[in-house]
Amino acid sequence: MRILIIGGSGVLGTELIQQLTPLKDEIRWDAPSHDELDICDPDSLDTWLQDKWYDTIVLSVGEKDQQAIESDSHAALQSNIIGVANVVSAMQRNKCQARLAYISTGYVYKGDKSYHKENDGVFPCNKYAWSKLSGECAVRMLDENRHLIIRCEFSKAPWHKNYAFIDQYTSREELEITAHKICRLVLKRATGTYNIGGRKKSVYQYAKSLSEGKEVLKCKIEDFATVPLPHDSSLNTGKYNRFMEGKDGKTT
């Protein structure tokens, strides 16, 4: 299997490469830097997709700072929407038959209930989430058997703030766990849309689990949030779990 990782120098891309490294005898990958491959530059994309064969393209690049996006959405428009569309267009233009694995977010759901399923309705509450849903729309211009949309949330330990919400619920997991699950979906050649994550917990509970010994202030969304946030982005991961079950019923 040969993989092109777009965003390989980012936090998630770096972790994906680390987890693929033990499989280097079976899997080859390219992870160009932003200077080498810029999704906002169609010519740059053509350079990497012309006359090259990839089984999968993993797209994990984009703007993620929700507060910055809410106040000025230009960068997110360029990378999270136009950039993703550029990747899909370049694949079509160069007759690239790779499967495109796009890393999205659980924030695309309405956030008014627990354990959202992949076929539940979507209704983002902030500009970041709208930009990610727009990216999903571009990816869906590829045939069903040529795209993989992964909705997830993750953080790197320790918790990056001194406060966390007690009234916001999530299925967020640590970076290493999320990357492992993404690799499993990619290596098993999954297609379609999958939620990945852990059990529902408050963001405060999650933050404390990442930061033993660190003081984290309990707070409510209405008191501290600087952008609109969903009250519950927890995910039903039954589809992922079923896909990972082998014929003998054991997890592969």
State residue 251's pLDDT score: 44
State residue 191's pLDDT score: 97
pTM across the whole model: 0.95
State residue 166's pLDDT score: 98
Residue 130 CB partners (closer than 8 Å, separation 6+): 124
Cα distance between residue 244 and residue 138, in whole Å = 27
Query: Which tokens hold the place of 185?
Result: 């979906």
pLDDT per residue, tens digit, the chain (252 aa), is: 999 999 999 999 999 999 999 998 999 999 999 999 999 999 999 999 998 899 999 999 999 999 999 999 999 999 999 999 999 999 999 999 999 999 999 999 999 999 999 999 999 999 999 999 999 999 999 999 999 999 999 999 999 999 999 999 999 999 999 999 999 999 999 999 999 999 999 999 999 999 888 899 999 999 999 999 999 999 999 999 999 996 444 444
Tell me what the pLDDT averaged over the chain comes to.
Answer: 95
Cα distance between residue 207 and residue 215, in whole Å = 10
**Are the beta carbons of 11 and 65 closer than 8 angstroms?**
no
**Are the beta carbons of 185 and 1 closer than 8 angstroms?**
no
Q: How many residues does the chain have?
A: 252
User: Residue type at 154?
Assistant: F
State residue 212's pLDDT score: 84
Nearest to 32 by CA among 55, 1, 57, 63: 57
State residue 250's pLDDT score: 47
Query: Which tokens hold the place of 221?
Result: 């969304």
Cross-strand bridge partners of residue 102: 59, 149
State residue 52's pLDDT score: 83
Cα distance between residue 157 and residue 123, in whole Å = 29
What domains does the chain contain, in order, with CATH numbers?
2-154+173-197+235-243 (3.40.50.720)
DSSP 233: -
Cα distance between residue 84 and residue 78, in whole Å = 9
Can the peptide bond before residue 158 be classed as cis, meaning omega within 30 degrees of 0?
Answer: yes
- 3-state DSSP call for residue 196? coil
State residue 213's pLDDT score: 81
**Are the beta carbons of 16 and 58 closer than 8 angstroms?**
yes
